[in-house]
Amino acid sequence: MSRNRNIQTELPGPKARALIARDAEVISPSYPRDYPFVMSHGRGTQVWDVDGNRFLDFAAGIAVCSTGHAHPQVVQAVKDAADRFLHISSDYWHEQMVGLGERLARVAPMGAPAMSFLCQSGTEAVEAAIKLARYVTGRSRFIGFLGGFHGRTMGSLAFTSSKYTQQKGFFATMPGVTHVPYPNPYRPLFAGADQGKAVLDYIRMLFERSVPPSEVAAILVEPIQGEGGYVVPPDGFLAGLRALCDEHGILLIFDEVQSGIGRTGRMFASQHWGVQPDIMTLAKGLGSGLPIGAMVARKHLISQWKRGAHGNTYGGNPIACAAANATIDLVEGGMMGNAATVGAHFMSKLRDLARDYPCIGEIRGKGLMIGMELIEQDEERTPARKLCDDVITRAYHNGLLLLSCGTSTVRFMPPLNVTREEIDEAVVLLRTSLDEALFEREG
């Protein structure tokens, strides 16, 4: 039994074990589940499992529950929309869909008028971006980044390269994607201090020797790499990509599925560097948990799509749009500011922790998108994979839900309205979890 007052039973408890046994008979085993948390309900940053144990949720449904679990304003918006109608299809018009288009056009970081294509997930937003880029440029090649994650359907999967298991067994995906390294100052691949400049030079070399830039429709990049390890690129890198795209008539697509909608303390991560994309993809935090994605593009591009060029059945679903409208209002109305200030507090607490634990190689991120990379204590900064898994498992037993990314990075992505007190509580639980994982390793 845990010493933690939040944990009432041996984990997983009897009800959790029973549900997991039923699941094992009927649900695909492909979902990458790391520990046996079985959700009962949640409020804000707190969640309870079916056996009555309380946890702090610093994974937030993979950065989806941006306004916290069951925010009353989002729940009310969903109820009101559901009372009117559940679905009508994108063949017709309605208030919630247009309202979301207007909000996205207002906040879009293009510095120019923008329009949106609505869908249900991140991967569909990326598919739409790929199709739009091909359609308007008449070009078919793309540049993507090693460590990038953009989804698991055959177009987006062609770019996804954060783990080889995502590709293995599925054979050739969409042709035409060339991967280049993502600049990672903590793990430099190139000689010299400026990894961003080195990657830009590498792309220029590709353009000269193997990938004619006149055939490249777009460069697709995460402004902060998510699944690949919460890697923040060096200053100047995104601006350099923008300049390279402009030079060759290539479109710049920012995938903000994980980093967008207030997560980093700005509405979009790209705004930390003031670089404007041509196309942007959104999902996750956009709907507070309702399945919704959006491809937002400069108006002069997306308006080239003729009637019927791209569509779907559920795009603009009124309930998902109502959740997204309420979410954007809440994020603009204070949660984004909270992500910036509470995120800075969290970052400094984690940096204090890092001083006590040499296995913490780096703390990095922006706002409430923070990674803690764990390493073996050697010159090479060898990723401490097992330690990372053990810390996450111990955290679950101590009442803190976490997920990993990259090779050995613990990531923190709590709801944007997490409080300082919840952060302080999570840091205490994290310290205990680190101690236990290190003790197990040495014992």
Q: What is the DSSP secondary-structure string of 150-185?
A: --SSTTGGGT--S-GGGTTTS---SS-EEEEPPP-T
What minimum distance in Å lies between the beta carbon of 150 and ligand PMP? Answer: 5
Contact 162, 147 (CB under 8 A): yes
What minimum distance in Å lies between the beta carbon of 149 and ligand PMP? Answer: 5
Residue 162 within binding range of ligand PMP, rule CB under 6 A = no
Q: How far apart are CA 62 and CA 212, in angstroms?
A: 37
Q: How far apart are CA 70 and CA 201, in angstroms?
A: 47
Q: Quick one: which of 81, 252, 257, 430 contacts ligand PMP (CB under 6 A)?
A: 257
Beta-bridged to residue 253, according to DSSP, are 220, 279
- Number of residues counted as binding ligand PMP (CB under 6 A): 15
What minimum distance in Å lies between the beta carbon of 227 and ligand PMP? Answer: 5
Q: Tell me if residue 98 falls in helix, strand or coil.
A: helix
User: Among residues 119 and 301, whose Cβ is nearest to ligand PMP?
Assistant: 119
Contact 12, 36 (CB under 8 A): yes
Q: Quick one: which of 49, 194, 227, 362 contacts ligand PMP (CB under 6 A)?
A: 227
Site stretch for ligand PMP (CB under 6 A), options 10-18, 88-96, 204-212, 219-227: 219-227
Q: Quick one: which of 136, 211, 283, 403 contacts ligand PMP (CB under 6 A)?
A: 283
Site stretch for ligand PMP (CB under 6 A), options 97-105, 106-114, 185-193, 222-230: 222-230
| Footprint of ligand PMP on 56-95 (CB under 6 A) | 62
Q: Tell me if residue 248 falls in helix, strand or coil.
A: helix
User: Among residues 31 and 171, whose Cβ is nearest to ligand PMP?
Assistant: 31
Q: How far apart are CA 268 and CA 248, in angstroms?
A: 25
Q: Tell me if residue 354 falls in helix, strand or coil.
A: helix
Beta-bridged to residue 363, according to DSSP, are 372
> Which tokens belong to 196?
């961003």
> Which tokens belong to 138?
């008449």
Residue 268 within binding range of ligand PMP, rule CB under 6 A = no
What minimum distance in Å lies between the beta carbon of 309 and ligand PMP? Answer: 22
Residue least distant from ligand PMP (Cβ): 122
What distance, in Å, lies between the first and last C-alpha atoms of the chain? 20
Contact 301, 112 (CB under 8 A): no
Contact 44, 289 (CB under 8 A): no
- Closest by Cα among 109, 13, 34 to 411: 34
User: Among residues 118 and 375, whose Cβ is nearest to ligand PMP?
Assistant: 118
Site stretch for ligand PMP (CB under 6 A), options 184-192, 221-229, 323-331, 414-422: 221-229
Largest CA distance in the chain: 66
State the binding string over 392-411 for ligand PMP (x if CB under 6 A, else -): --------------------
User: Among residues 404 and 432, whose Cβ is nearest to ligand PMP?
Assistant: 404
> Which tokens belong to 323?
């959740």
Site stretch for ligand PMP (CB under 6 A), options 14-22, 255-263, 391-399, 412-420: 255-263
State the binding string over 134-153 for ligand PMP (x if CB under 6 A, else -): ---------------xxx--
279-282: strand order across its sheet: 114-119, 293-298, 279-282, 251-255, 216-221, 141-145, 177-180
User: Among residues 122 and 383, whose Cβ is nearest to ligand PMP?
Assistant: 122
Q: Quick one: which of 51, 57, 194, 222 contacts ligand PMP (CB under 6 A)?
A: 222
Residue 226 within binding range of ligand PMP, rule CB under 6 A = yes
Q: Tell me if residue 225 falls in helix, strand or coil.
A: strand
Strand blocks (E) in 306-368: 360-366
User: Among residues 266 and 394, whose Cβ is nearest to ligand PMP?
Assistant: 266
User: Among residues 74 and 231, whose Cβ is nearest to ligand PMP?
Assistant: 231
Site stretch for ligand PMP (CB under 6 A), options 82-90, 128-136, 252-260, 338-346: 252-260
| Footprint of ligand PMP on 98-127 (CB under 6 A) | 121-123, 126
Q: How far apart are CA 67 and CA 415, in angstroms?
A: 6
Contact set with ligand PMP (CB under 6 A): 62, 121-123, 126, 149-151, 222, 226-227, 255, 257-258, 283
